[in-house]
Amino acid sequence: EYLETQVLTASPHRLHLLVVDGALRFAQQGLMALEERNWEAFERALSRSRDCVTELLGGLRDDAGVEVVDSLK
């Protein structure tokens, strides 16, 4: 409920930071699961991190500069 309110009232820049934070948090969870050889948790965390990165890439706009966008991709 708190997260939902946070997302619904966030500025575009804040939403971007929330997605970046999610990608990093899930990647860290995946690393911990990998170290524990918990393959199911590893796959789940990696998938969620990948979803966040995909969302970030999908939000890149070419009008910001094709070279910059290509570099980020």
Looking at residue 4, its amino acid is E
Using a cut of 0.75, tell me whether the model's pTM lies above it: yes
Rounded (5°) CA angle 73-3-48: 40
Contact 34, 42 (CB under 8 A): yes
Q: What pLDDT shows up at residue 69?
A: 77
pLDDT by residue for the chain (73 residues), tens digit each?
887 888 889 898 899 899 999 999 999 999 999 999 999 999 999 999 999 999 998 887 777 677 877 777 7
Q: What pLDDT shows up at residue 41?
A: 98
